[in-house]
Amino acid sequence: MSKVLMKGNEAIGEAAIRAGCVHFFGYPITPQSEVPEYLAKRLPEVGGKFIQAESEVAASNMIYGAAGVGVRVLTTSSSPGISLMAEGISYIAACELPVVIVNIMRGGPGLGGILPSQGDYLQATKGTAHGDFDLVVLAPSSVQEAVDLVILAFQLAEKYRNPVMVIGDGMIGQMMEPVEFPAQEIGPPLDPGDWALTGCKGRPTRIVNSLYLDAQKLHEHNVKLKDKSRRIAAAEQRWETYNCEGKYDLLVTAFGMMARICKTAIDELKAEGIDVGLFRPISIKPYPYEHLRGAMDKTKRVLCVEMNMGQMLEDVRMAGEGTKPIDFFGKAGGIVPAVEDVVARIRESLGKKGK
């Protein structure tokens, strides 16, 4: 299939349809509103269901209801909206239901702003909502990758019966890039297996429930969820390295769009004979700690670059275990560090003056 020029948010909506998801429940919020807008038009064309919920709280509970009856379902939102969805996400994780959530991040905390940010890294990977559970979180760095990862997200959600989040900054949602979709318009329906509530005709009744009044049983449920997280961590780590073939003067770590900006900075420095490698985690949960450590072993110094105040930095430090000095460069508030900003910060880390 040939490439089409599409806005990130619209491409995300189309990707869900190509993945066989024709059920969407969501609520408008900048900078992701084009997803519900696109799907409001597109889903009826493919026999799907689009509902604009009264709030993100309701939207997250609607996807809980839809996933519980065994259909593929998507919601999308942006930072403050994801906070409101936290309630539903915790229940969905507890009930082991497959859903895909897209977070097109804006600046925070609070109402924050509407410009691009990576300020929800910790919320997505460490503390999405109450209770012991882990999301799978994938961070695209281009519109094409957003499409590919949304499709992958549905596959992982169903494979592990776990909520999967695709997380991108506002730029991913708002920028236009050429993208290629898989040909299949609607995949095979989700297999309701032995868990979905479809009416109990010819079988015993089923309950989708997250209440465990017996402490021992709840403990066992938590152990089961943790075991699943371990299985996911063993099988589903994804990452990209750039200019990491030999040894390098410095290793830059970045995720999402920020990594793309870092690549250009690395190219500029390479022309001057300064060798900088890049490690980009694609799955920020599970985080590819050991692979990052391997990339760190080939350099003396690390620089973590983010569009926040240093959220992934904690994971980079964990990977390094104190073996390498780790610097940080970040801008929040919707400021996107430019290539020259990154170049200047890399020089600073290396103790080199500019041209």
Partner 1 sequence: MRKVFAYTDGLTRLPTHYCPGCTHGVIHRVVGEVISELGLRERTVGVAPVGCSVLAYNYFNCDMFEASHGRAPAVATGAKRARPEIIVFTYQGDGDLASIGMAEIIHAANRGEKFTTIFVNNAIYGMTGGQMAPTTMPNQRATTCPAGRDVNEVGYPIRMAELIASLRTPAFVARVASHTPEATIRAKQVIKEAFEHQVAGECYGFVEVLSICPTNWGLSPRESSSWLEKEMVPYYPLGIKKRPDEIKGGAHGHN
What does the binding site for partner 1 look like in residue numbers (CB under 8 A)? 23, 25, 49, 51, 53-55, 57-59, 61-71, 73, 87-88, 91, 197-202, 205-211
188 secondary structure, DSSP code: P
Quick check: 48 and 73 in contact, CB under 8 A? Answer: no
Distance of CA 191 to the CA centre of its chain: 24
Coil, helix or strand at residue 150:
helix
Which tokens in the block code for residue 268? 């500029």
23 or 263: CB nearest partner 1: 23
To partner 1, the closest distance from the beta carbon of 232 in angstroms equals 25
Nearer to partner 1 by C-beta: 1 or 200?
A: 200
Q: Closest CB to partner 1 among 71 and 146?
A: 71
The structure tokens listed for 144 are: 């094409």
Cα–Cα dist 258/200, whole Å: 49
In the complex, minimum distance from the CB of residue 228 to partner 1, in angstroms, rounded to a whole number: 20
* CA-based nearest residue to 124, from 240, 313, 286: 286
As measured in angstroms, the least distance from the Cβ of 292 to partner 1 is: 37
Nearer to partner 1, 17 or 284 (CB): 17
Q: Which two tokens stand for residue 82?
A: 């994801």
Q: Which is nearer to partner 1, 6 or 66 (CB)?
A: 66
For residue 190 the two structure tokens come to 């989700």
Contact 331, 304 (CB under 8 A): no
- Are 319 and 289 in contact by the 8 Å Cβ rule? The answer is yes
Pick between residue 202 and residue 273 the one whose CB is nearest to partner 1: 202
Token digits for 330?
């970040």
